[in-house]
Amino acid sequence: MELKKYLYQVISAFIVGLIFGVGLIISGMTQPQKVIGFLDLLGSWDPSLMFVMLAAIPVHFISYRLIAKMPSPILDWKWHYPTKKEITKPLVIGSILFGFGWGVGGYCPGPALVALGSGALNVIVFLISMTIGMWFFGFLNKRIKFNR
């Protein structure tokens, strides 16, 4: 029975990821010039990604409230909510670095993974750089303990 539920989880995660990836492609989130154009408020601003957000926010708002009333997820035993609620210095610094990387590279990690399917060199360089950065942080964090 456990294997059957695990297979359902894997298959449903794949289908949801596939739908999410297609949505990222259709919305233009996998195109760095589109993202950078949206972030360029003082230049040639491209507001089209704002419509993606304006469509996503009400869908999430409504569906989250309906789903949260269920005793557990359909394909899991319990809800996995974040437990930390405080705003810490590492959180703020990480958010700034994430935003800076997104603005400079034009990619967020999820859309970059989707764009990897294109085989474009800039996507490969971005993902390698991001992976090295994550590894380097893990390496430093073991020695400096940023999270404490």
> In the chain, where does DSSP find H-type helix?
2-27, 32-39, 48-67, 89-105, 109-115, 121-144
Indicate whether 146 pLDDT > 80: no
- Whole-number mean pLDDT of the chain? 85
Distance (Å, whole) CA 9 – CA 136: 32
Band of residue 148 on the pLDDT scale cut at 50, 70, 90: low
Distance (Å, whole) CA 48 – CA 27: 9
The pTM of this model reads 0.64
Read off the pLDDT of residues 73-113 as tens digits, 9 standing for 90 and up.
877 788 888 888 899 888 888 889 888 887 787 788 888 88
Comparing CA positions, the residue from 39, 147, 32 lying closest to residue 93 is 147
